Structure 1
Amino acid sequence: MGRSSFSFEPGGLSRKDRRALHQQTRTGERTDTTPHRTRKERSLPEPAVAGPFGPGISAGGYWNLAKVGVPVHQATSQHLAGIYPFVADGGLGHRGPIIGVDLNADALWHFSPWESYADTTDRGTFSTNILVLGAYRSGKSATVKTLVTRSLAFGHQAVVPSDAKGEWVVVADAIPGGTVIRLGGGTTARLNPLDRGPRRTGTTDEQHEQMVKQRRIATLISLVQMTLGGTRLTAVEHAVIHEALHRCITATGDRPTLRGVYEQLGVIAADATGDFRLAEAAVQPRFVLRRFVDGDLSGLFEDESTVSFDDQAPIVVVDTSELFARGDLVAQLTQVCTTAWIQAVVSDRSAHRTRYVIREEGWRDMTSLASLQMYQQWLKLSRHYGISNIVILHKMGDLDAVGDADSQERNLAYSIAADIENKFIFRSNTQEQHALRTRLNMPAPHVDMARQLRKGEFLAYVGQYAYLVDCFATSTPWEYDLFQTDDALTTPVRDTDTTPPADLDTLWPTPTSETTDRVDAELDGWLTSWKELS
């Protein structure tokens, strides 16, 4: 801060003289001609100096009762921004695909969950999973599609276990080699959620059998509990499901299906010579599985799979949009079955593959205690299998559909969401402020910022660091048309060719250090020009 100063305008000046005095003040042409004085001389009264305006007025044109204090520096925030690069964060480096612009550092922002996990510095993370949270039309889907499709050029793959809206079908059809598995709508495709899956490398026979058995049991219990409205099964009902599955495995030569378990439950229920408690407990689970065998979900999951998982495909999408139109319960049952089938076929470490597993409407995977426990275990083992689960939620309140208030199920669901280390927080509504602070432990300034984010902007939490990122998913017309999700609301007319190139290297060439340095330099130059114009 500068020293205080006072200046007085002499009276009796003409308008012309006053204008000249003001002009001198603005242009800084006035100078202090007072000679240097000793400490003793400075204690004496200021002598009158004959100036151009009369006795007692300084040569500068005003009464100099105190020494003029010139402020150290005055500038607008636009000019002060010139010192900002010296304190801005360096970002995550150039590893991984370009997602957007780091608005704090004015630099390109790269991100890859596997690169962050492999980073041994304080910028590294201990998880490859990503939580994506934001209101409708905040840019979540376009950003996730940007991350996934641009990651294909880096050798990663993607799986969508249940595409409820058909958004990812368009992406898979546009990617060379992409695969779409359509369920319902007159198709004959079937997925068996009780498939064994590939042998996991590094496990003994006993360990492998135990893993397969746990996944099958968890799937059956989730289906039964979900159909019963979240009612927990009794110990006897658990026992009878175990028994029916064991009998089905024996009868089919380790190729169990929902139809086979349904038939074995019928045998147990009709056995008058066996344990009557098992016979009574088999009735309710059997009625539930009847929905898959003879009900509205028949022809989808009750028999052996008629389609196979192409592990060479860059992206595999299971289209369930026809089934989700039948109601929430059908959607939840469908998601449990398709997710179980996907987990069985992608959890093979020996393949040495890295995959994104995109979970649209992620809360549907957490609707019962059994599914929550299976979900939590799957998230913990994701890095073990080279998988990055992308859990997409519209708001934290979505998890209020899980269990009752303060129930074990709801608390576990919130705990699972909070434990995901990488978080992309998009624009949130006002009513979400409390949940963001308490459930995700976000700082108050960040919560306020989340309310004001524009479409495509998000707060990225990667390990211990936070970034403000603007995703540009429209760097090419092909991406713009591919990633937009507002077809029902807008009908843009684009007179461009959106046919993708024949290979992914042409779409998204793997950047070298020379390329990224050049792009950063061009971006810095563009930002500098933009600031000068603004």
Structure 2
Amino acid sequence: MSTFQPPLTKAAGHLELTLHRITSGDLAGMFDGESTVTFDPNAPAVSIDSSALSGASPEAVRVVNACAGAWTEAMITNSDYGQRLVIYEEGWDNISSEADLQRMVESWKLARAYGLFNILVMHKISDLDMAGDQKSRMAAMARSLLADSDVKVIYRQDASALKVTMDELDLSDRERALIKSLDKGVGLWRLRESSFEVANDRSRAETPLFDTDERMRTLDITDEDATVLAGQGQS
């Protein structure tokens, strides 16, 4: 026979267990002490590197995202800090969290009021599906980010991703033909109803910063492995 628990009692129990994990459980040492990083909202650029969370539990990742999100929100919603570029480098990961997604939707809707230019980077349009089932609230929120973006930049994609991209963005016949023949580093920029073919021109200082193939060149990879990795890198 089960014992009835009032909603507040049940919620308090969940909170107690969560705090226990953070202070003396499997998440101890991550959030129960002074921060080792000084947050400077007046810095010209702030980068949050989450690579150390690789292999961490989903709960740890969510708590870190909540803390980082609070920092970011305090910075970008304060008019004293001027205009900002806000870049979400791994869009597929950001939209999988309801709290992060809600924060992003607000940032997109109030971009002018906050003085922001938001940039969401995704491997392919179908990454939006990671927000949830097609008819779910999170899926609708993710799609709203696409609809509220006046600027869309599309780079070379493999055939499987290309069809979804063309249909989702309702590209014209000219744009469809152009996107199929884009060279590496050349993108189709759509600014509302206009579109342009734009080539990236990186400086000598910028080139190593965007070199994502460095590990490919330092590893001893067989032809078979190279084929698999090259296929994954097309999207």
User: TM tier, shorter chain?
Assistant: 0.7 to 0.9
Give the CA deviation at 1:444.
4.1
Could you say which residue in structure 2 is the equivalent of 1:382? 111
Distance, in Å, in 1 between the alignment partners of 2:14 and 2:137 is 24
Could you say which residue in structure 2 is the equivalent of 1:446? 175
**Structure 2 residue 101 is the aligned partner of structure 1 residue 372:** yes
Distance, in Å, in 2 between the alignment partners of 1:417 and 1:356 is 17
Query: Where do 1:321-336 residues align within 5 Å?
Result: 321-326=51-56, 330-336=60-66
What TM-score do you get using the length of structure 2 for normalisation? 0.77
Could you say which residue in structure 2 is the equivalent of 1:486? 213
2:142 to 400, 409, 413: 413
Distance, in Å, in 1 between the alignment partners of 2:83 and 2:180 is 34
Distance, in Å, in 1 between the alignment partners of 2:97 and 2:113 is 25
Specify the code of the residue in structure 1 equivalent to 2:79: R
**Does the 8 Å CA contact 2:95/2:131 hold for their aligned counterparts?**
yes
Q: Secondary structure at the match of 1:367?
A: coil
- Give the number of the structure whose alpha-carbon radius of gyration is greater: 1
Give the CA deviation at 1:456.
0.7
Q: 1:368 to 1:320 in 2, by over 3 A?
A: closer
**Does the 8 Å CA contact 1:357/1:388 hold for their aligned counterparts?**
yes
Distance, in Å, in 2 between the alignment partners of 1:305 and 1:435 is 43
Give the CA deviation at 1:302.
4.4
Specify the code of the residue in structure 2 equivalent to 1:391: L
Could you say which residue in structure 1 is the equivalent of 2:10? 280
**Does the 8 Å CA contact 2:188/2:197 hold for their aligned counterparts?**
yes
Distance, in Å, in 1 between the alignment partners of 2:19 and 2:182 is 46
Query: Where do 1:29-178 residues align within 5 Å?
Result: none
**Structure 2 residue 47 is the aligned partner of structure 1 residue 320:** no
**Does the 8 Å CA contact 1:437/1:444 hold for their aligned counterparts?**
no
Q: 1:383 to 1:294 in 2, by over 3 A?
A: farther
Q: 1:452 to 1:330 in 2, by over 3 A?
A: farther
2:38 to 305, 308, 326: 308
Distance, in Å, in 1 between the alignment partners of 2:131 and 2:32 is 26
Could you say which residue in structure 1 is the equivalent of 2:189? 460
Distance, in Å, in 2 between the alignment partners of 1:296 and 1:319 is 22
Could you say which residue in structure 1 is the equivalent of 2:164? 435
1:178-226 CA deviation, whole Å, 9 max, x = no partner? xxxxxxxxxxxxxxxxxxxxxxxxxxxxxxxxxxxxxxxxxxxxxxxxx
Distance, in Å, in 1 between the alignment partners of 2:47 and 2:8 is 40
Query: Where do 1:500-511 residues align within 5 Å?
Result: none
Could you say which residue in structure 1 is the equivalent of 2:229? none
Could you say which residue in structure 1 is the equivalent of 2:129? 400
CA-based RMSD: 2.7
Aligned residues: 214
What TM-score do you get using the length of structure 1 for normalisation? 0.37
Bigger RCO (CA 8 Å, 6+ sep): 1
Q: Secondary structure at the match of 1:400?
A: helix
Specify the code of the residue in structure 2 equivalent to 1:482: L
**Does the 8 Å CA contact 2:155/2:182 hold for their aligned counterparts?**
yes
Specify the code of the residue in structure 2 equivalent to 1:407: S
**Does the 8 Å CA contact 2:88/2:119 hold for their aligned counterparts?**
yes
Q: Secondary structure at the match of 2:188?
A: strand
Q: Secondary structure at the match of 1:452?
A: coil
Distance, in Å, in 2 between the alignment partners of 1:443 and 1:291 is 53
Q: 1:439 to 1:282 in 2, by over 3 A?
A: farther
Give the CA deviation at 1:333.
4.4
Q: 1:280 to 1:391 in 2, by over 3 A?
A: same
**Does the 8 Å CA contact 1:418/1:439 hold for their aligned counterparts?**
no
**Does the 8 Å CA contact 1:301/1:337 hold for their aligned counterparts?**
no
Could you say which residue in structure 2 is the equivalent of 1:337? 67
Give the CA deviation at 1:304.
5.6
Q: Secondary structure at the match of 2:104?
A: helix
1:346 to 71, 76, 85: 76
Distance, in Å, in 2 between the alignment partners of 1:486 and 1:328 is 28
Q: Secondary structure at the match of 1:432?
A: helix
Distance, in Å, in 1 between the alignment partners of 2:45 and 2:172 is 36
Give the CA deviation at 1:421.
1.1
Could you say which residue in structure 2 is the equivalent of 1:299? 29
Q: 1:482 to 1:407 in 2, by over 3 A?
A: closer
Could you say which residue in structure 1 is the equivalent of 2:225? none
Give the CA deviation at 1:464.
2.7
Give the CA deviation at 1:326.
2.9
Q: Secondary structure at the match of 1:490?
A: helix
Distance, in Å, in 1 between the alignment partners of 2:171 and 2:24 is 48
- Structure with bigger helix share is 2
Distance, in Å, in 1 between the alignment partners of 2:6 and 2:45 is 49
Distance, in Å, in 1 between the alignment partners of 2:27 and 2:184 is 38
Q: 1:348 to 1:425 in 2, by over 3 A?
A: same
Distance, in Å, in 1 between the alignment partners of 2:171 and 2:59 is 33
| Structure 2: gaps of 5 or more residues | 219-235
Specify the code of the residue in structure 2 equivalent to 1:452: S
